[in-house]
Structure 1
Amino acid sequence: MSENAGSGRNDSFGGGSDNPWDDRALDDQVGPGEAEPQADNTQWAESATPASVTAVRRPLRPAGAGNTTKAGGQRPVSAAEPRRREDSPKSEKRRGRWLTMLRGRTAATGPGDDVALAKSIRRPLNEPKNIAFINEGGGTGKTTTAVLLGLLLASLRNGPIVAVDASPGCGDLGNRVPESKRPAGNVRSVVEGAGRIRTLDDLRAHMNRVAGGLDVLAADASTSAEAVFTSTDYVRLTEILREHYEVTITDCAAGMVSDVVEAVLDDADLVVIVSEGGDGVRSSTWTANRMMDRAEAKPKYKRLLDDAVVVVNSRHDRTKTNTAKIMDFYRNIVRAVVEVPFDQHLEGGDIIVLDKLSKNTRTQLLRFGDAVISSDGFNQ
């Protein structure tokens, strides 16, 4: 990685005033410095108000852009974003500032809102979709967030859902779900056995199917040179998965300078950028600028960024990071932003169980799922 990338600077990718992913305005908010007032832990109690930011439309998007399907019909609107008239960019920014000011102080989400979000997530898709979870840096909660979305979609949708570890080496995806009760395969066994896979059951013989119906395809944990997962392997793998799965969730390893990540982005219908704290912001902006730098050769990268969902993880109950400022930064440059609040169940790399999440986390997870299903990439 270049010196600029390591320092969090975007100068080498045109990080000037015209670059929406220039994170320098956040330096006084997310870098080291004096401690912010300590967070009130009661905000994470079951009765607390959930963090409020989801599926906020990109302010500068032209009126009506991305709102139609291939067939010419109206694109479904996010359940978290009621249909309304198009306002000016200035009004959108003003609305964003109010949402930031009201963060943590809005009326509690009621059961009816959760029901509406769940209904939105169940909307049918016209073809198989692939979601890529990316970030240049590690430790942002990317794998955890990918598993959370997979478990949610599998619990609410009828079509089969699979989460795949696309790490070139040994990834961590398989460690966040219960161990398989029978011998399971991995990405390597699927690619090598492709000629013998005819049905979904044939494919599931390689999977670890967890409670709720999510299929998990782990990375090859072997240390041999032959076990390295390549871009060619990934292309072959997704060809097989798209034949049998409604949604594929691809968990990429940290790092964007990889032919595997390029293959993932080439196949993706939607990207989810997972950020956490100051370092997470800098690695996510580097990730976006890496894609923007290549957008001339690959125009799809610009479309993926315009349609992206950013997930901001709060992985500590006490933090010096101004999360509201970070949320506001992302809200002005991507289609949807969701905050996953601190949740003790998600700490320590343990097995993830939806029923053990706090009510606040479950509500934000529903909003995350709604933002995904409402994306342009899922409605084309």
Structure 2
Amino acid sequence: MTDEKKHENDADSAPEPDGTPFEVVAVPDARDRVSAGSLAGLTLPQPIAGASVPPAPGKPPAGYLPVSSRVPEREEADPESDTGADTVAEPPADPEQASERRTRPEGPEPASSLTSDRLIEKAATPPVGGWRLWLYRATLGYVNLGDPDHVRLRRALEHRIATRLGERTRFVPVLSRKGGVGKTTVTTLLGMALADLREDRVIALDANPDRGTLSDRNPGRATYTARHLVKDRFSVDSFAQLSEYTAREGSRLDVLASDPDPMVAHAFDDGDYRAVTDVLGRYYSIVLTDSGTGMVHSVMKGTLEKADAVVLVSGGSVDEARLASETLTWLEAHGRDDLVKKAIVVINIGAGEGTRVDIDEIEEHFRTRVAHVLRIPHDRHLAEGSQIEFGKLRPATRAAATELAALVVDQLIG
């Protein structure tokens, strides 16, 4: 045996430091493994002095720190269970803390229900003016009496006017059997009130077969008229192109004027009205029609067929009131009882209330035939016969126009 092999044998049989020998088995073409028989001869090292030892019965171990809450005790393993693993017992749920909304039939609330209106506390708004606002400021906001009743009623009317009407265009003709009663004036006031408080588009169409004056009562001028739109209706395919035919200035109300040329031989007829309203119906939510006087001209046929509600204008005289009432009779005779039920009668006091005619009796007469009767008081700005500026009207006139707009919207959504 060579010295090298002898040295290897001595190393393999060398005893451990504790004096216990162990045997190494060599396995060909494999890793060195410790034989099972040699494991019995292994002696584990003894614990070092000072190490932690199990505590005596009834005493906590060394280094024990008390805690405020107890760890949930483990339940005994179920002998019949497959795994036999220990399970932690959960504390019973407090029925008072469980939300009642989880047991409702429609299920839990969606994320969309968490709105700012629901979650953010609203601060009371200060009064708009007057002594109520002075008191609010003097008390540094601690005393807030709110707005007076007339302000709250005005806000309620504005909210009604701003109600959405859906995707379909609504048509509202303004009718009169007699000229000079303020039909064009009422159309302008109604259109301005609607356009000022609504987010969608509102337009007033002058459908007078002859020369109409709707454009004269509204600010702004347009290069083209309703007759031009009839001729170019197939080439208008956007609102930007349609805006070239309408006028708007100082108001959100768009106006489509009639032809002012007195030499025009062809009057605006039913076919022209239907062609124009087909174009306007693609871009506007409400179309007001300033109809001509009378009920038998050709434009009136298409006007009444498309009407969703009507506004009937009467003056403050005896003959004007009688002709307006006969208009309701004409509608009933031609099978339009639905329009009569939804009609709104406007009594325009253009000549003032200094006459001997009892306006209250006129109102009472129309209340027996329609649901709503409204009076527009005399206003010097309206009596001028020129362009109407909504801000120059008397407060009572503006309030009447706003109420008329609210009534019209109520009929359109009803």
> Which TM-score band applies after superposition, normalised by the shorter structure?
0.5 to 0.7
Q: Aligned runs of 1:1-380 on 2, under 5 Å?
A: 110-126=150-166, 127-180=168-221, 183-277=222-316, 278-295=318-335, 301-317=336-352, 318-375=354-411, 378-379=412-413
Q: Amino acid of the residue matched to residue 239 of structure 1? A: D
Contact 1:133–1:274 under 8 Å retained in 2: yes
| Alpha-carbon distance in 2 for matches of 1:135, 1:109 | 35
More displaced 10-residue stretch of structure 1: 318-327 or 109-118: 109-118
- Secondary structure, counterpart of 2:255 in structure 1: strand
| Alpha-carbon distance in 2 for matches of 1:329, 1:184 | 44
Q: Amino acid of the residue matched to residue 379 of structure 1? A: I
Deviation at 1:179, TM superposition (A): 3.6
Contact 1:220–1:227 under 8 Å retained in 2: no
Distance 1:251 1:320, change over 3 A: same
| Alpha-carbon distance in 1 for matches of 2:320, 2:406 | 23
Deviation at 1:293, TM superposition (A): 1.9
Number of equivalenced pairs: 264
Deviations for 1:207-228, whole angstroms, at most 9, x for unmatched residues? 1112221110010122344541
Contact 1:210–1:216 under 8 Å retained in 2: no
Give the fraction of aligned pairs with identical amino acids, expressed as a percent: 30
- Secondary structure, counterpart of 1:209 in structure 2: coil
Distance 1:217 1:109, change over 3 A: farther
| Alpha-carbon distance in 2 for matches of 1:142, 1:270 | 16
Deviations for 1:83-130, whole angstroms, at most 9, x for unmatched residues? xxxxxxxxxxxxxxxxxxxxxxxxx96111111111110000012111
- Secondary structure, counterpart of 1:163 in structure 2: strand
Larger Rg: 2
Deviation at 1:169, TM superposition (A): 1.6
Q: Amino acid of the residue matched to residue 281 of structure 2? A: R
Distance 1:109 1:176, change over 3 A: farther
The structure with the largest helix share of the pair is 1
| Alpha-carbon distance in 2 for matches of 1:306, 1:160 | 26
Distance 1:165 1:347, change over 3 A: same
| Alpha-carbon distance in 1 for matches of 2:274, 2:369 | 30
Deviations for 1:139-192, whole angstroms, at most 9, x for unmatched residues? 111100000011111111011110000011210111101242xx5211101111
Deviation at 1:328, TM superposition (A): 0.9
Alignment gaps of 5+ in structure 2: 1-147
| Alpha-carbon distance in 2 for matches of 1:226, 1:211 | 33
Deviation at 1:294, TM superposition (A): 1.5
| Alpha-carbon distance in 2 for matches of 1:109, 1:336 | 22
Contact 2:220–2:248 under 8 Å retained in 1: no
Deviation at 1:206, TM superposition (A): 0.4
The alignment's TM-score, normalised by the length of structure 2, stands at 0.62
- Secondary structure, counterpart of 2:259 in structure 1: coil
| Alpha-carbon distance in 1 for matches of 2:150, 2:320 | 31
Please name the residue that 1:39 is paired with: none
| Alpha-carbon distance in 1 for matches of 2:280, 2:203 | 8
